[in-house]
């Protein structure tokens, strides 16, 4: 017998959303992955350098998946629950995890790192990235692109203005990197299909990815959640599209 709206929502509203592991969504939501394989490419670069920094590491899951970390490996994170998870994952690998408010300046000296990485940073401070990179160093990251999952956002918040839909465009990163004195070496954008198979997946996703519907709570959006539950029951999975772009920028030697 299908689970009820109240059962699905109650379960998704009670489960922990700490860290950056989305395995709870297995069998409840799907997301196409970018063709380039960020974690693999990041791991290849980490294996070739002496000192690296991972910015906004989340729970450290992506960095911890790298086969080999450099002799000097640091990571920053701002959210206390994620700090605890990242510390537990990365300290045994010899990496130091530093509490950082995601505001300039980065708590490191000039020219401290050969490589700076980040997966889905909320904010990108290009001048700081350039400052902590050594001459010849690289910034390598996967960013969230423009209008990502906008179909879901607009189901709850209505039509978004152009400044929201067009924000996070890779052209802004190209401009920011250049203004900081970095040369953009690679920039690729992809749109990726997502499917939410039940309303619990939607609740979990919005609780975890807090900037999608700012201030989201089940109680505030219960009526709209029920509408979406009924839509999924009648028509099948709710489809949205995530956008991601890969960027690599170098500091001139």
Give the CATH number for residue 11: 3.40.50.150
* DSSP 8-state secondary structure symbol assigned to residue 221: T
Domain limits for position 20: 5-250
Report how far residue 238's alpha carbon sits from residue 36's, in angstroms, rounded to the nearest whole number: 26
Report how far residue 111's alpha carbon sits from residue 244's, in angstroms, rounded to the nearest whole number: 28
Q: What per-residue confidence (pLDDT) applies to 99?
A: 97
Report how far residue 232's alpha carbon sits from residue 227's, in angstroms, rounded to the nearest whole number: 9
How many residues are present in the chain?
A: 253
Q: Which residues pair with 140 in a beta bridge?
A: 117, 248
Q: Which two tokens stand for residue 12?
A: 């998704």
184 burial (CB, 10 Å; 0-12 / 13-18 / 19+) is: middle
Over residues 53-112, the pLDDT tens digits come to: 999 999 999 999 999 999 999 999 998 989 999 999 999 999 999 999 999 999 999 999
Q: What per-residue confidence (pLDDT) applies to 90?
A: 98
Confidence of residue 140 (pLDDT cuts 50, 70, 90): very high
Phi and psi dihedrals of 27, rounded to 5?
Answer: 85, -5
88 burial (CB, 10 Å; 0-12 / 13-18 / 19+) is: middle
Over residues 167-200, the pLDDT tens digits come to: 899 999 999 999 999 999 999 999 999 999 999 9
Give the rounded distance of the alpha carbon of 216 from its chain centre.
18
Asked whether the beta carbons of 132 and 109 are under 8 A apart, the reply is yes
Q: What per-residue confidence (pLDDT) applies to 229?
A: 98
Q: What is the pTM of this model?
A: 0.90
Phi and psi dihedrals of 224, rounded to 5?
Answer: -70, -35
Q: Which two tokens stand for residue 221?
A: 């959006």
Q: How many domains does the chain have?
A: 1
Please say if the pLDDT value at position 18 is more than 80: yes
Asked whether the beta carbons of 51 and 116 are under 8 A apart, the reply is no
Report how far residue 127's alpha carbon sits from residue 125's, in angstroms, rounded to the nearest whole number: 6
Over residues 202-253, the pLDDT tens digits come to: 999 999 999 899 999 999 999 999 999 999 999 999 999 999 999 999 999 9
Confidence of residue 20 (pLDDT cuts 50, 70, 90): confident
């Amino acid at each position: 017998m299908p689970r009820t709206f109240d059962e699905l929502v109650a379960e998704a509203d009670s489960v922990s959303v700490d860290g950056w592991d989305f395995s709870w969504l297995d069998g409840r939501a799907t997301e196409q992955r970018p063709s380039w394989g960020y974690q693999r490419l990041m791991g290849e670069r980490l294996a070739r350098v002496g000192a690296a920094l991972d910015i906004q590491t989340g729970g450290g899951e992506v960095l911890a998946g790298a086969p080999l970390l450099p002799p000097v490996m640091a990571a920053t994170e701002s959210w206390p629950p994620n700090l605890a998870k990242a510390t537990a994952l990365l300290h045994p690998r010899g990496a130091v995890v530093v509490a950082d408010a995601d505001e300039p300046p980065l708590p490191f000296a000039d020219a401290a790192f050969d490589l700076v990485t980040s997966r889905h940073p909320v904010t990108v401070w290009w001048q700081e990235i350039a400052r902590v990179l050594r001459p010849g160093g690289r910034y390598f990251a996967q960013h969230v692109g423009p209008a990502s999952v906008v179909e879901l956002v607009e189901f709850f918040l209505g039509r978004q203005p152009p400044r929201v839909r067009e924000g996070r465009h890779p052209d802004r990163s190209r401009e920011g990197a250049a203004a900081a004195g970095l040369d953009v070496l690679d920039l690729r954008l992809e749109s990726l299909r997502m499917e939410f198979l039940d309303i619990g997946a939607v609740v979990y996703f919005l609780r975890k990815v807090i900037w999608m519907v700012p201030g989201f709570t089940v109680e505030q959006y219960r009526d709209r959640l029920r509408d979406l539950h009924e839509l999924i029951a009648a028509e099948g999975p709710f489809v949205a599209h995530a956008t991601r772009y890969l960027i690599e920028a170098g500091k001139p030697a």
